[in-house]
Amino acid sequence: MPEIRPVTPVLGAEVANVDLAKPLSNAAFDAIHDAFNRHSVLVFHDQALTPEQHIEFSRRFGPLMVHVFAEDLLEGYPEIYRLSNVVVDGVRQGRPDAGQYWHSDLTYEERPSLGSVMHALEVPAVGGDTMFCSTAHAFEQLSPVMQKILEGLTAIHEFGHAFGRSNTTSIGVAQETLDRRPPVEHPVVRVHPATGRKCLFVNPGFTVKIKGMSDAESDLLLGFLYRHMTRPEWVLRHKWCKGDVVMWDNRALLHSGVGDYDASSPRHMHRTTIEDVPSG
């Protein structure tokens, strides 16, 4: 059976005694699923997965989503999005510098994602970590007055918002790609369906503004929430090792890649994204 080892008091756990390349028993999967809901980030070390095995494991949590960046999908496996700075014969092997800002994957979709599963195929010798913060814990640390205010608000999310920022990818995005994802609206506070915890659901990457507020009001409130959610004492920083599989709960956290590694240091990842399908 899997052994669950918490990493921080707020979020994150390592999972030992599991080979994800092999079919999991129902009992083993249930233990992993429960740990995922409780800890939001799970780390499995020393995994060697084929694309088929990666997809099979991910799909046990729900249907998989296909990323809008079609050119960065793994050929023959559209469920796998490649994050990579590797170039072969002049052709890049994935999206470089991806996600180097706080965000939750695919909140710009009408139906956002449940979680993501990323497999490290190549990692830099130094740098290239990923940071995580719990939006559930952050909500619980707010005053009751602020909690009540936020529960009545709606936020506007847009895919193109991230690409208007100077701290994001240097690779251009075609206008037609941006147009395929028009703005959507989501509550500022979501209830996690498995735990019942209330989670903040805004992020610097894709949240444009708070609906019904002026730009100045929205910027002030969102700026406060972003600083609050990412307080250093609440952040888990994962240093990748080759073979790591890390899965995270996009309903209950934000994450950010750290772009501190040299461009000549290969960083090549495969990621699947699980759709958040309402129960019932």
Q: Spell out a b/e string for 214-239, using b for 16 or more CB atoms within 10 Å of the CB, else e.
A: eeeebeebbeebbebbbeeebbbebe
> Catalytic residue positions?
103, 105, 255, 271
In one letter, which amino acid is 246?
A: V
Integer Cα distance of 41 and 248 in angstroms: 4
pLDDT at residue 177 in the model: 65
Whether 273 and 113 have beta carbons less than 8 Å apart is answered as yes
pLDDT at residue 178 in the model: 67
- For residue 270, give the nearest of 103, 73, 24 by alpha carbon: 73
What contacts 170, CB < 8 A, 6 or more positions away? 96, 97
Tally: H helices and E strands in the chain: 6, 18
Domain map of the chain by residue range? 3-275
pLDDT at residue 168 in the model: 41
Integer Cα distance of 117 and 113 in angstroms: 11
- For residue 129, give the nearest of 17, 35, 269, 227 by alpha carbon: 269
DSSP label at residue 24: P
pLDDT at residue 195 in the model: 96
Tens of pLDDT along the chain (280 residues) come to 999 999 999 999 999 999 999 999 999 999 999 999 999 999 999 999 999 999 999 999 999 999 888 889 999 999 999 999 999 988 989 888 888 999 999 999 889 999 999 999 999 999 999 999 999 999 999 999 999 999 999 999 998 787 764 334 445 666 666 666 789 999 999 999 999 999 999 999 999 999 999 999 999 999 999 999 999 999 999 999 999 999 999 999 999 999 999 888 999 999 999 999 876 5
pLDDT at residue 89 in the model: 85
Domain 3-275 CATH superfamily: Clavaminate synthase-like (3.60.130.10)
First to last CA, the chain: 30
pLDDT at residue 115 in the model: 98
Measured CA to CA in angstroms, residue 171 lies from 47, 160, 168 at distances of 30, 13, 9
